[in-house]
Structure 1
């Protein structure tokens, strides 16, 4: 009798100890859904065409993206493991703050809306054979600094890299953030992306995607509302890249944005978000092409330097507002524009020749000083 009572006491104390541990320290479990849902939302299999580029299981695929999120949130010692129980999959987090799984749950719930839109797009005969449904997986979930509104992810980010932030677009913008004082290891926290079309497609598919955005309105608005909500009460700053995205902002929120035009949208009742219009990060290669400047190399260089100044100014605003979301957005923009287009014109010129024309730093400096 006493022996059984002692065992019961020990078991009870163990259960109480587990229950009283802070969530994320002892562990936090998130129900991801059944395998069919998880396969849809994690674009599984990511890169298979008879022979798989990476022959991963569904569990390995999910773990890959969630480990990216942990790293980008700065939780180097945290861990996640994926378990299957029957048809359901669970993510078990350890070493994360309490409630860490909530932003992931929000993303997946929004993803259900996006999947419904993609299905309807297909039923209407508008889906194309080389498109892939792709949510912004692997982003920072807990320590976001700013939000980036973009058009669509390139297909190779899914099929080759399996990394939403691996593209020429995101790489270039990360470099501009670094030029504005953001440590390279922290740029992912600033690059929390909402694509208005959650479709991985060939990089030249922009025109083909016109007319699909309305299928994703519920998803888009929910993502903007949830991702722009900051921790301390101040909303996170947002950058709208490229004319299709700026046009979408005008259509959805009634705010017209030029390049380096500043506006405010109401993401939810009482939730005002500062939004800056910007060039698409890849636009500079089009703008600085001599073929688009009457065949003149000099005109192409001048255009490229002007666009570089705009891009550096936008990245400066994003970096400064990301560090201090309660700051004055208009004053920040004025300061950033003054810096890169007036005070530091020489550095703007040099960065253009190094990053776009691929000159060595010394050659770029000499060329800018001579002009």
Structure 2
């Protein structure tokens, strides 16, 4: 399942038409050096560029993604430059649309400072790329996903922060819990505690770098969990490194399907649910993890699938109704996927993970 819209086609339709109109919004992005740093430009060049874009085209690409994910399908963006640096001109967006973009770039400055200190301490690795969560919904977010780090190919190949096996799998679970496919990006606004695109095997090395990004991390959590009308957006913390970081920074203990509240700003309470990493099920259900014992692998995979469906159910419910009682929503979701619809959860494991046919999955789950 490919969750991301065809942005090449989208950007073709984002051409700037005519001179500035009264309703246009112009947002300063900073000087060329700053924009180059914060947009990881060039995204995919060695000797040959995979996509040979200018800096302006690269920025337009990511801002176009944000427009689409905010639901502004008829909006336009054009990036230009003058003596003061680069600026983005939007049409068809609210007058305050520049505020979250400016805040993201300000947080990005903090992240870059942290990455520079990391490199100055000779801890930066050649296979890492500085990568902010570009292209997310800037305004119409429904929930926040706290993760470890983005995969390198999301930057170097896709130029799409939401293009990964991890996010695709979780988007599938959200749709199984009633979120329309086209709306899943609004639920998947990501904060990675390490703003570094890296190979999948880099997790262990990255666990030692979080302290360099503390200011960035806290600012992002405070900014992105701020919903409309004063409501706090729910957040899901994926994987043990992220849940450990949450404990260190906010004193909140969240095991898998554990619920807590954090206060990223005075007077603000954000509900947080602990979850497995979206890719954990592939390890948990691998027979090699149990010396080839298929029965143990299936049992572990079934358990994780039930947990993941429950967490996605909570995220979908709280994202649509953030004023809801987080504990009650979790209780309802637990009842649904681990009692009432346990057979369906079983069938989804065998079709999604074991790739059996629906009839084969049904036979297995009926027998068990």
Q: What is the alpha-carbon distance in structure 2 between the residues aligned to residue 360 and residue 140 of structure 1?
A: 36
Give the corresponding residue for 1:115: 112
1-structure distance, mates of 2:273, 2:238: 9
Deviation at 1:362, TM superposition (A): 2.2
Q: 1:169 aligns with which of 166, 182, 207?
A: 166
**Structure 2 Cα separation of the partners of residues 135 and 365 of structure 1:** 43
Rounded Cα–Cα distance in structure 1 between residues aligned with 2:360 and 2:63: 43
Structure of larger gyration radius? 1
1:265-344 counterparts in 2 under 5 A?
265-344=262-341
Name which of 50, 70, 74 aligns with 1:73. Answer: 70
2:138 is matched with 141
Unmatched tracts of structure 1, length 5 or more: 1-17
Residue by residue, what CA displacement relative to the aligned partner does 1:260-313 show, whole Å, maximum 9, x if unpaired? 000000010001100000000000000000011232111111110100000000
In structure 2, what is the equivalent of residue 4 of structure 1? none
How many correspondences in the alignment? 349
- SS at 1:364 equivalent: helix
Question: 2: distance between equivalents of 1:243 and 1:188?
Answer: 24
Give the Cα–Cα distance (whole angstroms) in 1 for the partners of residues 358 and 94 of structure 2. 43
TM-superposition CA deviations, 1:139-190 (whole Å, max 9, x none): 0011000000000000000000000000000000000000000000000000
Confirm or deny that 1:183 pairs with 2:186.
Answer: no
Between the aligned partners of 1:337 and 1:49, the Cα distance in structure 2 is: 48
> Residue by residue, what CA displacement relative to the aligned partner does 1:220-250 show, whole Å, maximum 9, x if unpaired?
0000000001102220000000000000000
Residue 35 of structure 1 is matched in structure 2 by: 32
Moved over 6 A (4+): none
- In 2: Cα distance, 1:126 partner to 1:325 partner: 40
Alignment map for 1:3-152 (pairs within 5 Å): 21=22, 26-86=23-83, 88-152=85-149
Compute the TM-score of the two structures, normalised by the length of structure 1. 0.93
Whole-angstrom CA distance in 1 between matches of 2:358 and 2:84? 56
Cα RMSD after superposing both structures: 1.0
Structure 1 residue corresponding to 2:225, chosen from 210, 223, 228: 228
CA drift of 1:87 comes to 5.6
In the aligned structure 2, how far is the partner of 1:198 from the partner of 1:97? Answer: 28
